[in-house]
Copies of this chain bind each other. A is one copy, B any other.
Amino acid sequence: MPGKTVRIAREKRRHHGDRPVLLAIAGDSAAGKTTLTAGLVEALGPERCVSLCTDDYHRYDRRERRELPFTALHPQCNYIEIMEQHLQLLATGQPILKPVYDHTTGELTRPVLVEPNDFVIVEGLFPLYTKLARACFDVTVFVDPPEEIRREWKTSRDTRKRGYTPEQVRAELDLREPESEAYIRPQRAHADIVVRFAPIPGRVDPPGTPLSAELTLRPTVPHPDLSEVLAPGINRAMHLRLGRDTDGRPVDVLHAHGYAARADSTAVEQRIWSSLGESGPGAPDCLGRITSELRSEPLAITQLMLLYHLLCAAR
């Protein structure tokens, strides 16, 4: 039971106050993991955080992958055992020499030293893939946008930043689909929180309206008490309902509406922020930022929920 061994080792260190808090953000390529992470790192303070991407554990570079019968989404295409080992080391407060995959060139380059910090955020395709990897985290998230939105995001990003043509991205998405289904999407079942950014079905909002967020809150971690936040008068921005997960398990589902007025959302954000017992001027401005021009209150609320769990775990 190596997973249990890691948990025990972490609990021992927790008593000594010398282990970092680990957050997993799993999800398919271009599901929004990096955007979610960036705001968290800025809110917590980059000097207290380390964030890393499990894409660095690719076993083959882009040129080598062309000759292989599987894509980067296949566990065989990744050093899963080394990823697990590095997660265990970080989770118990030890440094790692992390491999580096350069998304711009598609090459594997010289590794870098990563020293654990108060918070370690691990995003990527595989952080929740094995039991041992999962044992390393305090909070686990799966980002699960509707496929058509993810395909749009991936096409946009990979053509702008990674030198692919739209046709190449579409072909790659089709090629990856069976492996997404087999290896990536099943990780959803192991997340404490599933995050889904999507338009509200049947609703037509003016262009530029941010996507709404649906957060599935599994009872595997204690979520903040949102009853006050959802008191009458401020629930135009969000609402909470009891639901059943895709597998029938009972869950809370939090809806944060993209169409809500910013003032309504901000009021909710301030309530969550205060419930954290944080003093200071209020929820950090960096939450909800998509680009320097674009922001989304549902994203800010999602990040605040994660911040809540990170800060609670650190206490």
Interface residues of A (CB under 8 A from B): 59, 61, 79, 81-82, 85, 89, 94-97, 99, 107-111, 113
Contact = CB atoms under 8 A, between A and B. Distances in A.
Given A108-B110, A110-B110, A94 B85 contact: yes
Contacts of A96: 82
B113 A110 contact: no
- Could you say which of A81, A82, A94, A111 has the most chain B C-beta atoms within 10 Å of its C-beta? A111
Given A79-B97, A97-B111, 18 more contacts: A59-B113, A61-B110, A81-B95, A82-B95, A82-B97, A82-B113, A85-B89, A85-B94, A85-B95, A99-B110, A99-B111, A107-B110, A108-B110, A108-B111, A109-B109, A109-B110, A110-B110, A111-B111
15 contacts: A59-B113, A61-B110, A79-B97, A79-B113, A82-B96, A82-B97, A82-B113, A97-B111, A99-B110, A99-B111, A108-B110, A109-B109, A109-B110, A110-B110, A111-B111
A95 B79 CA distance: 11
Contact of A97 (B99, B109, B110): B99
A82 B98 CA distance: 11
A97 B100 CA distance: 12
A2 to B, nearest CB: 11
Nearest to A97: B82
Contacts of A82: 95-97, 113
A85 B81 CA distance: 16
A95 to B, nearest CB: 6
A159 B22 CA distance: 49
Most chain B CB within a 10 A radius of its CB, from A89, A97, A108 = A97
Nearest to A81: B95
